[in-house]
Amino acid sequence: ACFCKDTTKEKLEAIQKGEDEKASLNADIAELSSKRDGLDRTIQETLDDINLQELSMKQASQERAEALTLYQTNTADLQSAIDSLEGALKTLKASKTPSFAQVKTVSNTVRTAVLLADTLGLGGGVDKKVIAFVQQEPSNGNEVPMEDYDFHSNGILALLEKLQNDFRAEKVSTDKIEADSLTEFEMFTQAKTD
């Protein structure tokens, strides 16, 4: 009878031990399952955040590309105006008293520069009569009288020099704005990738 009791006792202890291990394993599974669920949520939140950051960077890149295109257009226009005015001034200053014919050869350049300056809000403080004289086009093939030119020649040179200085200042300002924009974009993308 002792043998059966000993065997039964051993078997009962083994069964209890197995049930205890099963309960412990089930508790571990539940704990790890809960931990996994938390990690799955963290992973999904991180993926959502990554997608949001990528979308934000894509939008910033598009805005940067648009700003760069606008800068390149504006700076090309400004540089062209500066170069054109420089050529016009050289032509007009080549002789002590520029002739009406010399003024006429640079009139399109001057008109374009005056229109661009007006669009950009530059050239303030210049005599409006001089601007009107430079902008006027001969009507019906009639030329502007030489007396009008003689009266305005110094004003024309002053206008061209003022516009050239204004365009240079505007280009410097535009270049600074572009440099600041580029720096801001680079800092933004660096912050998003860190």
* 32: three-class secondary structure by DSSP: helix
* Residues of the chain with confidence (pLDDT) below 70: 1, 95-106, 123-154
In this prediction, residue 135 carries a pLDDT of 56
DSSP 43-94: HHHHHHHHHHHHHHHHHHHHHHHHHHHHHHHHHHHHHHHHHHHHHHHHHHHT
State pTM to two decimals.
0.65
Long-range contacts of 137-142 (CB under 8 A, 24+ apart): 137/107, 137/111
Q: What is the pLDDT of residue 146?
A: 45
The pLDDT score that the predictor gives to residue 19 is 95
Residue 160: partners with Cβ closer than 8 Å, 6 or more residues away: 85, 88, 89, 92, 110, 113
Task: Please tell me the predicted confidence (pLDDT) of residue 99.
Answer: 62
Q: How many Å is the Cα radius of gyration of the chain?
A: 40
Contact (Cβ atoms closer than 8 angstroms) between residue 131 and residue 123 = yes
Residues 131, 77, 92, 136: what is their CA dihedral angle, to the nearest 10 degrees? Answer: -30
Query: What is the structure's pLDDT at 130?
Result: 56
